[in-house]
């Protein structure tokens, strides 16, 4: 049985120092950037697997030297297409080697890539491509190309669309197959890429992360090369990441957290990444790969929780009794480990027995047989789920942060974890609580600003401090606890940031609607509470032959609203679509505390007053 050994604090310091010196020796003349680190790994670890793709029923490896060659070829191809320093590219597709290669190649030649969620609607895709003025876009397949094609008249800067490897060719002068794309680089001298790479400045723009705003379209978070390398180094230290580690890439690469776990950290350590076949295959792929590091959003952990709970409930009585005893041992053991201690004496013996009878059998079935670090982020996770898995000897470490600081602000690191908190600040990052309880962050991971949005940048980045929009407090031991959110943003259980006001405004365009409140924080999908405008509702009722009395119960009104919302949904990404709605029996009011004097909705009050209606929409 393989045993993962974690380094002592002194040994870890020495290991990091050796890694730093090795990295420095690998790149004597080049600015420290993620692409430069990749090319260095191609020389120092030429034959070690960098990533794996499942083909023909088996996992096929690509070495670090091959990976570096692929990025170099794509870099030459981008230069062959005329990509200049400071220009951008966009990427639209599921996690694939081409995604990573194109992203890294763009950075290597002085450009800045921007990932787009595959669930984005054509109009959302158009906005990001137009906002970045990207001349080149990489798409996974014909479905994603069709989104670009629908909007091509509104994309004046777009010159080329590149298909990922294996996609059928498109008869369009704008579209290139992956092979035709790479062929464009054959006329570019190999040394031209090195010249671009060596000219990079660590403080220059490296990549965009597009995140939802409270109103209007998404904002482009600008991250520098130093933002990425510093955060990658910090992340390596936080989880004691090793060259022998493995991970599964399956969450959207448009998200900074997945970029860290798929690109930046593996390139820094030389560990191996497995690209999941698809979202539907993640469960099977996990079991096959048995990664050592796993990052997941709360929704994934919830699915694990549901599956394990169901299995335990249907188990024979004796097995249930053994599992109950084992989980008690697991909780006590990990309570000690979270404090940097190991169980000894009777508890140590009990743990070894529980591991033999339960943990060592259960974890491989989940794909967690080799896992050393499990991370949950992008949205809050329920404390009971973390405690449940701790009882199964699976410690989920919650991370807190946002795109504006490269993902992590605080982390529950091994040996220093407190369930119910989001951990302690990263080494080198300052976190303080403002007078109004807002969390403020300052450090090398804090972003450059929002692209083409000086006003939003000025509101968010003040004297070097990132104003997170989240509310929090520190406990006596220095662990951060999130208490609320100033920003009017919904974070779903899947970790997607959604601006509810855009959806609410669309619902309110219905003739009879007065107010709409979108629900979905920490939930699997979005729902809406709808209140009728008294005067408009009467007019609607008269026009449709209905009684204005008890109109909220009218099947005709409900059908009309349903048709309205279904049509409206087509303008939004799938994760932003309203799945259910409830028509309230009364209008929201100032008197009941649901509206401010300026008629703004007080969400917390609405949630409290209509809790039963909300829960009914999520009842299975």
- CATH code, 377: 3.40.50.12780
- The residue among 104, 105, 94 whose CA lies nearest residue 167 is 94
Q: b/e for 465-495, b at 16 or more Cβ within 10 A?
A: bbbbbbbbebeeeebbebeebbbebbbbbbb
Report the domain count for the chain: 3
Rg (CA), the chain: 26
Does residue 398 belong to any structural domain of this protein? yes
Q: What is the mean pLDDT of residues 191-219?
A: 87
Q: Is 273 left (phi over 0), alpha (psi -120 to 50) or beta?
A: beta
pLDDT at 11 over 70: no
Task: For helices 9-26 and 34-44, give the axis angle rounded to 10 degrees.
Answer: 90
Structure tokens at 111: 């450009």
Confidence tier at 596 by pLDDT (50, 70, 90): low
Of the segments 262-276, 364-378, 477-491, which one has the largest average pLDDT value? 262-276
Out of 419, 454, 485, pick the residue that ends a domain.
Answer: 485
- Under the banding of pLDDT at 50, 70 and 90, the label for residue 12 is very low
Q: What are 507-516's pLDDT values in tens digits?
A: 988 888 889 9
CATH number at residue 262: 3.40.50.980
Task: Look at residue 1 and tell me if it is in a domain.
Answer: no
Say yes or no: 466 and 568 in one domain.
no
**Predicted confidence band at 18 (pLDDT cuts at 50, 70, 90)?**
low
**Beta strand segments in 451-537, E:** 461-462, 465-474, 480-485, 490-491, 497-498, 513-519, 526-532
Do 121 and 571 contact (CB within 8 A), yes or no? yes
Indicate if 264 and 326 belong to the same structural domain.
no
Lowest mean pLDDT among 193-202, 263-272, 495-504: 495-504
pLDDT at 17: 45
Other beta carbons less than 10 A from residue 577's beta carbon: 18
- Does one domain contain both 256 and 332? no
Whole-number pLDDT of residue 146: 96
Residue 159 has pLDDT above 90, yes or no: yes
Report the C-alpha gap between 576 and 255 in whole angstroms.
16
* Residue among 424, 23, 398, 72 nearest 232 (CA): 23
Q: How far apart are CA 270 and CA 70, in angstroms?
A: 16
Domain match, 39 and 164 both: yes
Q: Please report which confidence band the pLDDT of residue 216 belongs to, taking 50, 70 and 90 as the band edges.
A: low
Claim to verify: residue 308 and residue 262 sit in the same structural domain: no
In a domain, 340, yes or no: yes
Quick: pLDDT tens for 394-405: 999 999 999 999
Is the C-alpha dihedral spanning 232, 235, 240, 246 positive or negative? negative
> Which residue in the block uniquely carries the two structure tokens 């990025």?
71
Q: Is the dihedral of CA 475, 478, 482, 483 positive or negative?
A: positive
Q: Tell whether the model's pLDDT for residue 371 goes beyond 80.
A: yes
Tell whether 493 is covered by a domain.
Answer: no
Same domain, 184 and 308: no
Per-residue pLDDT at 543:
84
Mean pLDDT of the 117-125 span: 89
Verify that 124 and 253 share a domain, yes or no.
Answer: yes
Lowest mean pLDDT among 63-67, 125-129, 289-293, 532-536: 532-536
* Model pLDDT, residue 28: 43
198 in the same domain as 116:
yes
Give me the chain's average pLDDT, please: 90
64-80 and 190-198 helices cross at what angle (nearest 10)? 90
Q: Span 469-495, mean pLDDT? A: 86
Pairing state between β 272-275 and 49-55: parallel
Q: Name the residue range of residue 598's domain.
A: 499-618
Query: Of 485, 518, 533, which residue sits at a domain end?
Result: 485
Answer yes or no: do 180 and 256 share one domain: yes
Q: Are residues 449 and 330 in the same domain?
A: yes
Residue 589 has pLDDT above 80, yes or no: yes
- Specify whether 201 is located in the same domain as 94: yes
Whether 282 is in a domain gets the answer no
- Give domain status of residue 13, yes or no: no
Do 518 and 503 contact (CB within 8 A), yes or no? yes
- Domain assignment present for 358: yes
Q: Which pLDDT score is estimated for 8? A: 44
On whether residue 283 sits in a domain, the answer given is: no
Question: Residue 90 pairs with which residues in a beta bridge?
Answer: 114, 137
| Domain closes at, from 485, 513, 541 | 485
Q: Which CATH number characterizes residue 590's domain?
A: 3.30.300.30
Same domain, 316 and 341: yes
């Amino acid at each position: 049985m393989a045993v993962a050994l974690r380094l002592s604090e002194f040994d870890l310091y020495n290991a990091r120092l050796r890694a730093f010196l090795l990295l420095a020796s690998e790149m004597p003349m080049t600015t420290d950037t993620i692409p430069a680190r990749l090319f260095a790994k191609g020389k120092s670890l030429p034959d070690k697997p960098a990533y794996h793709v499942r083909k023909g029923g088996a996992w096929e490896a690509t070495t670090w030297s091959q990976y570096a060659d692929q990025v170099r070829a794509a870099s030459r191809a981008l230069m062959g297409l005329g990509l200049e320093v400071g220009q951008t590219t966009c990427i639209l597709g599921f996690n694939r080697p081409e995604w990573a290669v194109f992203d890294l190649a763009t950075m290597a030649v002085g450009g800045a890539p921007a990932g787009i969620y595959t669930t984005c609607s054509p109009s959302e895709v158009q906005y990001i491509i137009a906002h970045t003025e990207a001349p080149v876009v990489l798409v996974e397949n014909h479905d994603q190309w069709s989104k670009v094609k629908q909007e091509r008249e509104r994309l004046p800067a777009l010159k080329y669309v590149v298909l990922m490897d294996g996609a059928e060719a498109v008869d369009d002068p704008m579209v290139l197959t992956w092979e035709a794309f790479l062929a464009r680089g054959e006329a570019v001298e190999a040394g031209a890429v090195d010249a671009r790479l060596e000219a990079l400045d660590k403080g220059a723009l490296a990549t965009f992360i597009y995140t939802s705003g409270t109103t209007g379209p998404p904002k482009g978070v600008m991250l520098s090369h130093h933002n990425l390398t510093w955060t990658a180094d910090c992340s390596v230290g936080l989880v004691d990441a090793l060259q022998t580690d493995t991970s599964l890439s399956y969450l959207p690469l448009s998200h900074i957290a997945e970029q860290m776990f798929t690109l930046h950290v593996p390139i820094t350590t030389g560990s191996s990444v497995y690209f999941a076949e698809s979202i539907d295959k993640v469960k099977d792929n996990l079991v096959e790969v048995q990664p050592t590091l796993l990052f997941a959003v709360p929704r994934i952990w919830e699915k694990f929780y549901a599956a394990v709970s169901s299995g335990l409930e249907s188990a024979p009585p004796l097995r249930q009794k053994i599992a109950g005893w084992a989980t008690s041992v697991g909780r006590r053991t990990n309570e000690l480990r979270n404090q940097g201690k190991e169980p000894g004496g009777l508890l140590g013996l009990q743990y070894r027995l529980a591991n033999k009878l339960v943990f060592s059998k259960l974890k491989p079935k989940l794909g967690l047989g080799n896992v050393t670090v499990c991370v949950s982020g992008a949205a809050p996770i329920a404390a009971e789920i973390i405690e449940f898995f701790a009882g199964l000897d699976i410690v989920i470490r919650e991370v807190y942060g946002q795109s504006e600081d490269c993902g992590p602000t605080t982390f529950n690191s091994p040996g220093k974890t407190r369930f119910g908190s989001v951990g302690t600040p990263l080494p080198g990052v300052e976190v303080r609580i403002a007078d109004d309880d807002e969390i403020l962050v300052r450090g090398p991971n804090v972003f450059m600003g929002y692209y083409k949005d000086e006003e939003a940048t000025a509101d968010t980045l003040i004297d070097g401090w990132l104003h997170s929009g989240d509310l929090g407090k520190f406990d006596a031991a220095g662990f951060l606890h999130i208490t609320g959110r100033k920003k009017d943003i919904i974070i779903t259980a899947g970790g997607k940031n959604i601006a509810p006001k855009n959806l609410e405004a669309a619902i309110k365009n219905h003739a009879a609607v007065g107010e709409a409140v979108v629900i979905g924080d920490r939930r699997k999908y979005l729902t809406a509470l709808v209140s009728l405008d008294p005067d408009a509702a009467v007019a609607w009722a008269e026009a449709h032959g209905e009684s204005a009395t008890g109109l909220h119960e009218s099947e005709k009104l409900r059908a009309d609203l349903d048709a309205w919302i279904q049509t409206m949904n087509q303008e939004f990404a799938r994760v932003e679509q309203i799945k259910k709605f409830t028509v309230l029996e009364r209008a929201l009011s100032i008197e009941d505390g649901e509206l401010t004097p300026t008629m703004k909705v007080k969400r917390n009050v609405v949630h409290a007053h209509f809790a039963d209606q909300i829960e009914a929409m999520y009842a299975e």
